[in-house]
Amino acid sequence: MDVHLLVYDLSRGLARQMSQGMLGFHLDAIYHTSIQLNGREYVYDGGIVDIVPGSSHLGQPMERIYLGKTELPMEVIEEFLDSLRPIFTVESYDLWKHNCNNFSDSLAQFLLGKGIPEHIVKMPDAVLNSPMGRMLMPQLNQTINSNRQNGSILGIQNNAATNGY
Instruction: Using alpha carbons, list the distances in angstroms from residue 98 to 8, 9, 10, 15, 52.
Output: 17, 18, 17, 21, 24
d(CA 92, CA 90): 6
Has residue 47 been placed in a domain?
Answer: yes
- For residue 127, name the pLDDT band (cuts at 50, 70, 90): confident
Report the CATH number that the domain containing residue 83 is assigned in CATH. Answer: 3.90.1720.30
Has residue 88 been placed in a domain?
Answer: yes
Average pLDDT over residues 109-121: 97
Q: Which residue has the higher pLDDT, 154 or 98?
A: 98
- For residue 154, name the pLDDT band (cuts at 50, 70, 90): low
Q: pLDDT (tens digit, 9 = 90+) per residue, 12-60? A: 888 888 878 877 778 888 899 999 999 999 999 878 999 999 888 888 9
Catalytic, out of 26, 57, 98, 100: 100
Catalytic, out of 32, 57, 98, 119: 32
Report the pLDDT value the prediction gives residue 141, as an integer from 0 to 100: 62
Q: pLDDT (tens digit, 9 = 90+) per residue, 55-90? A: 888 889 999 999 999 999 999 999 999 999 999 998
Has residue 165 been placed in a domain?
Answer: no
Has residue 121 been placed in a domain?
Answer: yes
Has residue 17 been placed in a domain?
Answer: yes
d(CA 10, CA 31): 6
Structural domain total, the chain: 1
Q: Which residue has the higher pLDDT, 132 or 109?
A: 109
Structural domain that includes position 124? 2-156
pTM for the model stands at 0.84
Report the pLDDT value the prediction gives residue 157, as an integer from 0 to 100: 54
Report the pLDDT value the prediction gives residue 156, as an integer from 0 to 100: 58
Has residue 142 been placed in a domain?
Answer: yes
Q: Is 32 a catalytic residue?
A: yes
